[in-house]
Structure 1
Amino acid sequence: MKTPEERAAEALAARSGHDEPRGVEWQRAGGAPFRPAASGSTPSASATPSAATASSSARTADADPSLVPIPQLIRDAVLLLARVVLGVVLVAHGMQKVLQGVSATAQGFGGMGVPLPEAAAVITMAVEIGGGVLLILGLLTPIAGVLAGLVLAGAVVFAHFSNGLFAADGGWELAAGLGVGALVLAVVGPGRISLDRLLLRRLRGPETLAAP
């Protein structure tokens, strides 16, 4: 009968023979050197879709800063409405000046201290009528919006600012509101229901329709 010391020695010998790493056994059999994977290795392929989804969501959030997502069709309809209303008001004021005549309009500009009143009258008529039509059509929107904004800024400075805020008193609220609206359209764009969008599609191809 084996003593406890002999049984302990046999157990120790058995453990030392079987606890060698797998790489040692593989290398003894003639295989390539075994290199265990280090902890903290690169993420598995299964983690890649999640990372890509998170990255895509982050880009979408950066592109759309609104708190409540708004469907693209509603955005386009609102931009169309803004363009039409602003364009109609501009055309109406331009036609009013045309009906008064260049001389009468220039005389009024001169009384308000506008430099070069005759040239300013012609430019104002052209921008209000031409820019208004372009905004209604959504054609060359950035140019039309900036020009209309500049003309309306001149109206605020020379014609309305000294009269206070309210339009009923000849104040600057209407001219400033129209001017800021024109600049917003110049920066944001006319939306998809516009001639600018149609021209962009013809120049760059149908894939541009996917852009916001």
Structure 2
Amino acid sequence: MPGQTLPTRALLADITTLLARIAIGAAFIIHGLQKLGMGVEGAGAAFGQMGVPMPQIAAIVAIVIELGGGIALLIGFALPVTGVLLALQMAAAIVIVHIPQGQPFVSAEGGPSFELPLVMGAASLALGFAGGGLAVDRFLPWGARTTQVRV
């Protein structure tokens, strides 16, 4: 917006990335809780039916990444690592489950498709590297913001 000062733009960027982290993090938390509610055995059985190799181990990994990663994303903890792990989890879901089942990117009939895990993975990656303004990371040694411009 014209006339905005740089700190105002930075604050708006921090607020919008916080809101995005809350939304994406909450979605991952809900998915992780769904799997946790099924139990490792139940989630593993569901994964096995979808053709996921080593389904019990995959269920544990999915629960830890989705639940733990969702919480970490929401509060802004270890954002680059969290973003990469969540993106890899979504990439694995696309490659191991969605594509082998013949699911399209978007289904015209509203059936199964893989646009949601693709968007969730991309958003996680973007927020992991750009969403740390209003975050726990800001107060930790690795999260200090530094800006250097060389001309």
In the superposition, the TM-score normalised over structure 2's length comes to 0.82
Contact 2:87 2:122 in 1 (8 A): yes
CA distance in 2, matches of 1:187, 1:141: 7
Runs of 5+ in structure 2 lacking a partner?
A: 1-5
Deviations 1:90-142 (A, max 9, x none): 00000011111211211121122212110000010000000000001001011
Matched, 1:165 2:105: yes
Question: Which residue type is aligned with residue 124 of structure 1?
Answer: A
Work out which of the residue numbers 98, 114, 120 in structure 1 matches 2:52. 114
Question: Which residue type is aligned with residue 102 of structure 1?
Answer: V
Contact 2:87 2:124 in 1 (8 A): yes
Q: How does 1:1-212 map to 2 (within 5 A)?
A: 71-161=9-99, 162-166=102-106, 168-188=110-130, 190-200=131-141, 211=147
CA distance in 1, matches of 2:145, 2:115: 37
Runs of 4+ in structure 1 over 4 Å off: none
CA distance in 1, matches of 2:114, 2:72: 24
CA distance in 1, matches of 2:43, 2:115: 21
Residue 155 of structure 1: CA displacement? 1.0
CA distance in 2, matches of 1:210, 1:125: 34
Residue 191 of structure 1: CA displacement? 2.8
Correspondence for 2:3: none
Q: 1:170 to 1:198 in 2, by over 3 A?
A: same
Question: Which residue type is aligned with residue 57 of structure 2?
Answer: A
In the superposition, the TM-score normalised over structure 1's length comes to 0.60
Give the 3-state SS of the residue equivalent to 1:119 in structure 2: helix
CA distance in 1, matches of 2:25, 2:66: 8
Correspondence for 1:18: none
CA distance in 2, matches of 1:136, 1:153: 20
Percentage of identical aligned residues: 33
Residue 210 of structure 1: CA displacement? 6.4
CA distance in 2, matches of 1:174, 1:186: 18
Deviations 1:41-93 (A, max 9, x none): xxxxxxxxxxxxxxxxxxxxxxxxxxxx8810111011101111110000000
Residue 175 of structure 1: CA displacement? 0.6
Instruction: Report the aligned-residue RMSD.
Output: 2.2
